[in-house]
């Protein structure tokens, strides 16, 4: 157990639907990062939050949004889902990036049918 908790582990939904992925960072970590991993693209950075505020944005589609709550857990909302959104979605947190890098959760596997 890495200390970063992601739920659900698996999600199957239909095109056009909306889903919410949840992440609880490791205790004490203020930064949360969301990544998408697909077979052809590898790990792609979506968005970062630090202590409740958006800090950096990557290749995140307008149909996707995220937030970080006062208790530091984060949610990634994916709407108007398309087949191509099927992927593994990882959350990571960090306290000491220099010495320990990111700590990743075990991911949510999203399948859009």
Where does this chain bind other proteins (CB under 8 A)? 2, 4, 31, 33, 35, 41-45, 48, 55-56, 58, 90, 92, 94, 97-107, 109
CB of 25 to other proteins, least distance (A): 13
Residue nearer to other proteins on the CB measure, 107 or 112: 107
Residue nearer to other proteins on the CB measure, 56 or 113: 56
| Three-class HEC string of the chain | CCCCEEECCEEEECCCCCEEEEEECCCCCCEEEEEEEECCCEEEEEEEEECCEEEEECCCCCCEEEEECCCCCEEEEECCCCHHHCEEEEEEEECCHHHHCCEECCCEEEEEC
Residue nearer to other proteins on the CB measure, 19 or 102: 102
Residue nearer to other proteins on the CB measure, 92 or 110: 92
């Amino acid at each position: 157990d890495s200390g970063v908790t992601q739920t659900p582990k698996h999600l199957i939904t239909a095109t056009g639907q909306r889903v919410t992925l949840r992440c609880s960072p490791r205790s004490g970590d203020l930064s949360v990062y969301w990544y998408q991993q697909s077979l052809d693209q590898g790990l792609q950075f979506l968005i970062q939050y630090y202590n409740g505020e958006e800090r950096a944005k990557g290749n995140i589609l307008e149909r996707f949004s995220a937030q970080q709550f006062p208790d530091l857990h984060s949610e990634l909302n994916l709407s108007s889902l398309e087949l191509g959104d099927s992927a593994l979605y990882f959350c990571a947190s960090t306290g000491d990036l220099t010495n320990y890098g990111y700590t990743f959760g075990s991911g949510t596997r999203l399948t859009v049918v």
